């Protein structure tokens, strides 16, 4: 909702009426930043049930924060989006890896205490 409101405010400020998507360069950056956040991967929502809630919550919050920083960086300059974009991609790869590990543990080794202990290290790192 925050990103959509920023587009609305930019439309008003730079007098760009819908459905136009071009106009003032600052409006175009804000519009593209919004589009990047809307179309960006949201895999953490689909993968979250596959690993511990604490890890999912922390990774999800970090992901949302990196998308917020992506939007802010892109709204100022196109190059400002790159750092947060790479950070959010790394978080998604982490989430995917945790999901695969959780699936493997569930289906292949459901009663293995060694495997469960190996998967518990992210919780130990996060202090859960």
Annotation marks residue 67 as catalytic: no
Three-class SS of residue 121?
Answer: helix
Annotation marks residue 12 as catalytic: yes
Contacts of 120 (CB under 8 A, 6+ apart): none
Instruction: Retrieve residue 44's tokens.
Output: 């953490």
Helices marked H in the chain: 2-14, 25-39, 43-47, 53-76, 82-107, 113-119, 121-126
Q: Which of 11, 12, 67, 123 is catalytic?
A: 12
Residue whose token pair is 């790869």: 93
Q: Which of 67, 81, 90, 123 is catalytic?
A: 81
Residues belonging to the active site: 12, 81
């Amino acid at each position: 909702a925050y990103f959509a409101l920023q587009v609305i405010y930019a439309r008003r400020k730079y007098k760009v009426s819908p459905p136009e998507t071009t106009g003032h360069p600052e409006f175009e950056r804000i519009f593209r930043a919004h589009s990047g956040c809307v179309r960006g991967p949201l895999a953490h929502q689909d993968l979250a049930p596959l690993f511990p809630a604490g890890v999912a919550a922390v990774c999800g919050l970090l992901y949302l924060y990196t998308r917020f920083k992506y939007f802010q960086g892109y709204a100022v300059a196109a190059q400002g989006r790159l750092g947060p974009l790479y950070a959010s991609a790394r978080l998604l790869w982490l989430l995917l890896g945790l999901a695969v590990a959780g699936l493997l543990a569930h289906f292949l080794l459901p009663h293995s205490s060694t495997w469960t202990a190996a998967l518990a290290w992210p919780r130990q790192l996060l202090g859960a």
